[in-house]
Amino acid sequence: MGIQEIRETMKNCRFCFMCRHACPTFLATKLDSHTPRGYALLLSEIDEGLKEWSNECIARFYQCSQCGLCREDCEFHWKEDDLVRHAREEIVAIGREPQNVKGIAESVRRTGTPFGHRKNESIGNVFKNQQNPDVLYFAGCSTHQFHPEVVQSLTGLLNYSGLSWTMLEPEICCGMPLFDLGYPTFAHQQAESVAQLLADRNPRLLVTGCPHCYRAFQEKYPEWGVSLPSSIQVMHSTEFIDQLMRERKIELKSKLALSRVCYHDPCQLGRKMGIYDFPRSIIHQVTGHSPIEIFHNREKAECCGAGSALFFSDPGISTQVARVRWNRIQEENPQLIVTACQNCKTALQGVSSIDVLDISELIIQVLGGDQS
């Protein structure tokens, strides 16, 4: 998005209050400076030379989860999430990004991941760096770091399916958090490295359970001019699992006795990439019941607070946002929350009093646990 487009968004959003009711950060904090109007007004003050970047103003721009709900809610779909990202790029350009944001970028620069390099301890070496497999499973940095159980579930399903598969060792950051945090050039470089590693392995299918990685591969890499070999098909794990079930590579012999499962739509997978039905179909097949819809769902689903690396850049605000979403989910009195994003799982687990599972874990439960 060029500066002219950003200025057009600023002009249209800076005095408009219409989407404030939807903004998940505003719902948590009730600050006007946490609304899309607030961001547009603050950025236009800077852009027009009325103000300098203050620490408070910088902090605000890193407290938006870039979930895109304001854009969805808006009659004219002004791209406020892009405006926030542009502001972050300006902040990074003057070297004023918050210390923990800087730390994430430095960690990727040093180790390839936001958390420092770690091996895929959850699987055996035999599966790593294989050439020409059916599937290359790209778990994503935060899945490795916080949810090895999700990696185990997905690899268990791959074993069950009988497909040949592999993972990258080392698996490095796809670049998406860097892009979201205001480091576009670094994100492109990272994308080039990942694309090269993937091309070397040459899988038929690239599967990731991380919606951020999925969006990077499907949408951002082409936008950035980073090309994956055209022979590689990219799928999110929900689509992949749904396909395995339809092709009877996964056959369920029983159902889980759960009648009230709530599915939380991850912003990156739903609103940004349009995947709503695969996870719902899987939940229906596993439990025999359609998921209970949360009051705001699908394209109107509120962010869980983990979007755009918010739980790294401002864990306090992230938790407040997660509480608002949990309150919304609680209204449905669910037995279980299912989601399809490891970051949503982290955020919701932190505030909910019931279990939160990734969709792959739900399937593994009905298949009878460890399939490794």
Size of interface with other proteins, in residues (CB under 8 A): 32
Q: Exposed, middle or buried: residue 69 (CB in 10 Å: 0-12, 13-18, 19+)? A: buried
Per CB under 8 A, 51 contacts other proteins: yes
Per CB under 8 A, 109 contacts other proteins: no
| CB neighbourhood size of 248 (10 A) | 7
Phi-psi region of 287 (alpha: psi -120 to 50; beta: other; left: phi over 0): alpha
CB of 259 to other proteins, least distance (A): 21
Angle at 82 between CA 81 and CA 86, to 5 degrees: 120
Q: Which is nearer to other proteins, 219 or 299 (CB)?
A: 299
Q: Which residues contact 146 (CB under 8 A, 6 or more apart)?
A: 342, 346
Order of strands across the sheet with 205-208? 165-166, 135-138, 205-208, 233-236
CB of 17 to other proteins, least distance (A): 4
Query: Strand (E) positions, the chain?
Result: 135-138, 165-166, 205-208, 233-236, 261-264, 336-339, 356-358
Q: Which is nearer to other proteins, 31 or 232 (CB)?
A: 31
Identify whether the C-beta of residue 232 lies closer than 8 Å to the C-beta of residue 205.
yes
Q: Which is nearer to other proteins, 33 or 287 (CB)?
A: 33
- Interface with other proteins (CB under 8 A), residue from 1, 3, 5, 17: 17
Per CB under 8 A, 15 contacts other proteins: yes
Per CB under 8 A, 297 contacts other proteins: no
Q: Which is nearer to other proteins, 39 or 240 (CB)?
A: 39
Q: Which is nearer to other proteins, 31 or 197 (CB)?
A: 31
Q: Which stretch binds other proteins (CB under 8 A): 48-56, 101-109, 168-176, 261-269?
A: 48-56
Query: How far apart are alpha carbons 170 and 154 in whole angstroms?
Result: 18
- Interface with other proteins (CB under 8 A), residue from 116, 119, 259, 295: 295
- Compute, in degrees rounded to 10, the torsion defined by CA atoms 34, 39, 40, 43: 150
Q: Which of 46, 72, 48 is nearest to 60 (CA)?
A: 46
Per CB under 8 A, 313 contacts other proteins: no
Binding to other proteins by CB under 8 A, coded x per residue (else -) over 151-190, reads ----------------------------------------
Q: Which is nearer to other proteins, 123 or 294 (CB)?
A: 294
Per CB under 8 A, 121 contacts other proteins: no
Q: Which is nearer to other proteins, 76 or 109 (CB)?
A: 76
Q: Which residue matches tokens 């808006």?
A: 74
Q: Which is nearer to other proteins, 17 or 227 (CB)?
A: 17
CB of 52 to other proteins, least distance (A): 10
Order of strands across the sheet with 336-339? 261-264, 336-339, 356-358
CB of 50 to other proteins, least distance (A): 6
Q: Which stretch binds other proteins (CB under 8 A): 70-78, 166-174, 220-228, 236-244?
A: 70-78
Write the DSSP assignment of 12-70 as a string of letters.
HHTT--TTTTT-HHHHHH--GGGSHHHHHHHHHHHHTTS-PPPHHHHHHHTS-----HH
Report 76-95 residues binding other proteins (CB under 8 A). 76, 78
Distances in Å between the Cα of 335 and the Cα atoms of 32, 319, 344, 357 are 35, 22, 17, 11
- Interface with other proteins (CB under 8 A), residue from 6, 24, 43, 60: 60
CB of 310 to other proteins, least distance (A): 17
Distances in Å between the Cα of 304 and the Cα atoms of 27, 99, 174, 269, 322 are 12, 23, 22, 13, 5
- Interface with other proteins (CB under 8 A), residue from 23, 64, 70, 74: 74
Identify whether the C-beta of residue 259 lies closer than 8 Å to the C-beta of residue 287.
yes
Query: How far apart are alpha carbons 249 and 367 in whole angstroms?
Result: 12
Q: Which stretch binds other proteins (CB under 8 A): 5-13, 171-179, 200-208, 240-248?
A: 5-13
Per CB under 8 A, 16 contacts other proteins: yes
Binding site for other proteins (CB under 8 A): 11-21, 30-33, 35, 37-38, 41-42, 45, 50-51, 54, 56-57, 60, 74-76, 78, 295
